[in-house]
Chain A
Amino acid sequence: MKYVDEFRDPHKAKVLLDNIIDIADALADDQQRPTYIMEVCGGHTHSIFRYGIENMLPPSIELIHGPGCPVCVLPRGRVDDCVAIAEQENVIFTTFGDAIRVPGSQKSLLEAKADGADVRMVYSPMDALSIAKKNPDKEVVFFGLGFETTMPSTALTVLQAEADGVTNFSLFCNHITIIPTIKAVLDSPDLQLDGFLGPGHVSMVIGNQPYGFIAEQYHRPVVVAGFEPLDILQSLWMVLKQLQAGEARVENQYNRIVPEYGNRMALEAISKVFELRQFFEWRGLGSIDHSGVQLNKQYSTYDAEKKFSTKTVTIADPESCQCGEVLKGAIKPWQCKVFGKACTPETPVGALMVSSEGACAAYYLYGGDRIDALQVEDDIEELRA
């Protein structure tokens, strides 16, 4: 595939890997520990496992799979709200595919659908608006989810609904914003991190500038990375080079897509429709100030939370579930008490097991070799059996 295969060239990968190994081994000798690099974005996590990158890296470098899968960080109380809305009469509840299996405290949207709720999978919020136009006697709710990557399309859909005079469409807004989240991760006392792979798609919207504080205040290098395997290897190498030189800067590896100052039109649409929430709860991370957005007053008629008077209840994860510690890199997925036992992709207890972007699901499905190397393979196999 043109413009894709070029980023999957094994010979170039070998050169990059050799460079990575040289620097990472030298750093590990100095530090007497591996270098810890967090990929913030779930898309990176998915690529890392899908192409076997984790297994190609030397033990002197460890990847921490961060909180960048929006499905994984969705708290159970919000899923319960979704189910409650979806189960009301005359409601068509529309959602992205990978959100449909996220467990709430009682059931997932998939289970609500099986129980009779009209839950439909869509590929874009505009599809939800089309459904609303075709079903004027129903209230069509779109489950808005994701970071700044998906926020512009939701904002534009709300603007389109207004322009078209559609009144039976509303948004259950769970959009979250990346910067406070990275800050919360950095402020976590049990965190051990040397650098970041910055999220490529989010940065396409917000640009590179917002990451400046990570380098300036926390002295950690950030390299905004693309999603092809060579992108990821090159970005890791760029982070390591900064660490080797004792530097901490924001660099843009994904400059074929990511503009320095972001996408003006997308940012305008976001700021026109949304405003920051005071608090927003994250699964496993607790409440993070100003980390979520909601529809502002001007567009509140499209707010499903107001139309349906949702009362989000905070529901703690089961005590055994350690998604939060995995998200912060404090433990590896297979070190969680329920990994592969009570919690599997078929029966996810924690959200990290739901989406293929979740670190636990990725390890469960793809990560066998690294686990094997850590000599827990028999336990894992027993669990998987």
Chain B
Amino acid sequence: MNVAEKKPIEENSATARIRQGKLVSNVITLAHGGGGKAMRDLIDDVFIEAFSNPALNTLEDQARFSLDDLASYGDRLAMTTDSYVIDPLFFPGGDIGKLAICGTVNDLAVGGATPLYLTCAMIIEEGMRVDTLRQIVSSMAVTARAAGIHIVTGDTKVVERGSCDKIFINTAGIGVIHKDYQLGAHQARPGDHILVNGFLGDHGAAILNARGDMQLSCPIESDCAPLHTLIQSLLQAAPNTRFIRDATRGGIASVLNEIAETSRCAIEIHEARTPIRTEIKGFCEILGLDPLYLANEGKLVAVVPEAETAAALAAMHAHPLGQDAADIGSVLAEGRPGRVHMQTSFGGKRIVDMLVGEQLPRIC
């Protein structure tokens, strides 16, 4: 069953709340986390207003799901959680809200799961403008709706000014894995191909650029996107795909190292076949950064058996989020287990190791 066929959530209680509170303040204060009327108004006017669905609207302490419905998607539950802290909150190509949905949807989807339900917990710094909060929540709602996933329960805390940086969002997600999919990094084996679904490093560069510290005028947008439909297309075309991982913090270099270490194989990628936009290359040149380590929010690395590589690539190319997909390398039969090499376009060869700490711009 794909996302388009997903069943709607059924009303799970006959006592759905009717009351519609209205927020009167323009600014979030500690009262909005105090558990009283102000908090109720915030929840009604901002969260219910944006996320509205039968499971959420009842405002029970938990969301309830039919086991039969869940079982119709597959044979295993997948569960994940992630917290989102980012500066700035709004950046070209996205915002913290979109990120909080896409990130958790992708964490479910890379395991082969159909993402179904999300939770949303917010820690808000006292003093945040309500308009800003509405903008973030609206972005979450739009992204969730487009991804066909429901935000079914949540939590709101307001902390004193200085106790957090504007807003932190945690989303947890539940999905169901189809019985045919068995993905795991340990399954990579010699001869498998390494695929990515498009240009790398856009998100990391967009965030650095949006901070404005470098005063570079570089038209880079984050690639923030939910990848579950792309992954479903990929898995339908290449059902023996060994492993998929979204290449977020640490970039594809970190994912490749994880695959190499877990499978105890060597991996070789080719710089000339690795899609990186010219703008990102230039951005990295100026700052002394390596695009292989830049974060992505809409890119995946897939390990696919050689026999299914062509079909996998064709499926990705046919999807809007995979038009620039590329086969960047392979798992080697020889070579030191656990090591990732890159053949440089220049004709050399170098190790691509795990990132140590944070990538820091060099002096000159």
Residues of A within 8 A of B285 (CB): 1, 4
Contact A1 B281 (CB under 8 A): yes
Q: How far is the CA of A52 from the CA of B361 in the complex (A)?
A: 21
Q: How far is the CA of A381 from the CA of B360 in the complex (A)?
A: 26
Residues of B within 8 A of A101 (CB): 357, 360
Cβ-Cβ contact count across A and B, 8 Å cutoff: 105
B2 at the interface (CB under 8 A from A): no
Contact A43 B348 (CB under 8 A): no
CB distance from A95 to the nearest CB of B (A): 10
Residues of B within 8 A of A365 (CB): 351, 353, 356
Contact A50 B364 (CB under 8 A): no
Residues of A within 8 A of B342 (CB): 52
A303 at the interface (CB under 8 A from B): no
From known contacts A4-B285, A345-B356, A381-B336, infer whether A356 and B362 are also in contact, taking CB-CB under 8 Å. yes
Chain B interface helix/strand/loop/mixed: loop
The listed residue (B288, B346, B363) touching A70 by CB distance below 8 A is: B363
Contact B349 A369 (CB under 8 A): yes
Could you say which of A52, A344, A356 has the most chain B C-beta atoms within 10 Å of its C-beta?
Answer: A52
The listed residue (A97, A145, A372) touching B360 by CB distance below 8 A is: A97
Q: How far is the CA of A91 from the CA of B282 in the complex (A)?
A: 35
Within 8 A of A (CB), among B334-349: 336, 339, 342, 344-349
Residues of B within 8 A of A366 (CB): 350-351, 353
Contact A229 B361 (CB under 8 A): no
The listed residue (A1, A49, A71) touching B282 by CB distance below 8 A is: A1
Q: How many residues of A contact B (CB 8 A)?
A: 51
Contact A10 B346 (CB under 8 A): yes
Contact A229 B348 (CB under 8 A): yes
Contact B282 A56 (CB under 8 A): no
Residues of A within 8 A of B363 (CB): 70-71, 96, 98-99, 145-146, 149-150
A355 at the interface (CB under 8 A from B): yes
Contact B288 A46 (CB under 8 A): yes
B278 at the interface (CB under 8 A from A): yes
Closest A residue to B282 using CB positions? A1
Residues of B within 8 A of A344 (CB): 356
From known contacts A1-B278, A8-B345, A346-B357, infer whether A51 and B362 are also in contact, taking CB-CB under 8 Å. no
A76 at the interface (CB under 8 A from B): no
A286 at the interface (CB under 8 A from B): no
Please, what's the 1-or-0 string for A247-280, where 1 marks a CB less than 8 Å from any CB in chain B? 0000000000000000000000000000000000
A368 at the interface (CB under 8 A from B): yes
Q: How far is the CA of A17 from the CA of B360 in the complex (A)?
A: 32
Closest B residue to A56 using CB positions? B348
Please, what's the 1-or-0 string for B180-205, where 1 marks a CB less than 8 Å from any CB in chain A? 00000000000000000000000000
Closest B residue to A201 using CB positions? B364
A122 at the interface (CB under 8 A from B): yes
B68 at the interface (CB under 8 A from A): no
Q: How far is the CA of A286 from the CA of B281 in the complex (A)?
A: 39
The listed residue (B282, B346, B362) touching A355 by CB distance below 8 A is: B362
CB distance from B240 to the nearest CB of A (A): 31
Q: How far is the CA of A46 from the CA of B342 in the complex (A)?
A: 16
CB distance from A363 to the nearest CB of B (A): 10
Q: How far is the CA of A230 from the CA of B345 in the complex (A)?
A: 12
Q: How many residues of B contact A (CB 8 A)?
A: 28
Contact B350 A50 (CB under 8 A): yes
Contact B336 A377 (CB under 8 A): yes
Q: How far is the CA of A121 from the CA of B364 in the complex (A)?
A: 15
Residues of A within 8 A of B67 (CB): none
A155 at the interface (CB under 8 A from B): no
Closest A residue to B279 using CB positions? A1
CB distance from A101 to the nearest CB of B (A): 7
Residues of B within 8 A of A96 (CB): 361-363
Contact B357 A345 (CB under 8 A): yes
The listed residue (A1, A10, A127, A367) touching B347 by CB distance below 8 A is: A10
Q: How far is the CA of A238 from the CA of B351 in the complex (A)?
A: 28
Residues of B within 8 A of A145 (CB): 363
Q: How far is the CA of A293 from the CA of B356 in the complex (A)?
A: 32
Residues of B within 8 A of A150 (CB): 363-364
Contact B362 A13 (CB under 8 A): no
Contact B348 A55 (CB under 8 A): yes
Closest B residue to A53 using CB positions? B348
B61 at the interface (CB under 8 A from A): no
Q: How far is the CA of A236 from the CA of B164 in the complex (A)?
A: 53
Contact A357 B336 (CB under 8 A): no
CB distance from A185 to the nearest CB of B (A): 20
From known contacts A1-B282, A123-B214, A365-B353, infer whether A52 and B362 are also in contact, taking CB-CB under 8 Å. no
A100 at the interface (CB under 8 A from B): yes
Residues of B within 8 A of A345 (CB): 356-357
Contact B346 A52 (CB under 8 A): yes
Q: How far is the CA of A355 from the CA of B356 in the complex (A)?
A: 11
Contact B344 A51 (CB under 8 A): yes
Contact A52 B349 (CB under 8 A): yes
Closest A residue to B362 using CB positions? A98
Q: How far is the CA of A116 from the CA of B336 in the complex (A)?
A: 43
Residues of A within 8 A of B336 (CB): 368, 372, 377, 381
B5 at the interface (CB under 8 A from A): no
A14 at the interface (CB under 8 A from B): yes
CB distance from B164 to the nearest CB of A (A): 17
Please, what's the 1-or-0 string for A79-99, where 1 marks a CB less than 8 Å from any CB in chain B? 000000000000000001111
CB distance from B303 to the nearest CB of A (A): 22
Within 8 A of A (CB), among B35-85: none
Closest B residue to A146 using CB positions? B363
Q: How far is the CA of A13 from the CA of B349 in the complex (A)?
A: 13
16 additional A-B pairs beyond A97-B362, A98-B361, A366-B353, beta carbons within 8 Å, are A1-B281, A8-B346, A10-B347, A43-B362, A50-B344, A56-B348, A98-B363, A99-B363, A122-B213, A123-B214, A127-B213, A149-B364, A201-B364, A356-B288, A356-B362, A365-B356
Nearest 10 pairs of A and B residues by beta carbon: A52-B348, A97-B360, A345-B356, A10-B347, A52-B350, A97-B361, A149-B364, A52-B349, A229-B346, A98-B360
For this complex, 15 residue pairs linking A to B, each with C-beta atoms less than 8 Å apart, are: A8-B345, A8-B346, A52-B347, A52-B349, A53-B346, A53-B348, A97-B361, A100-B360, A101-B357, A123-B213, A127-B213, A201-B364, A365-B351, A365-B356, A369-B349
Question: B residues bordering A, Cβ < 8 Å?
Answer: 213-214, 278, 281-282, 285, 287-288, 290, 336, 339, 342, 344-351, 353, 356-357, 360-364
Question: A residues bordering B, Cβ < 8 Å?
Answer: 1, 4, 8-10, 13-14, 17, 43, 46, 49-53, 55-56, 70-71, 96-101, 121-123, 127, 145-146, 149-150, 201, 229-230, 344-346, 355-357, 364-369, 372, 377, 381
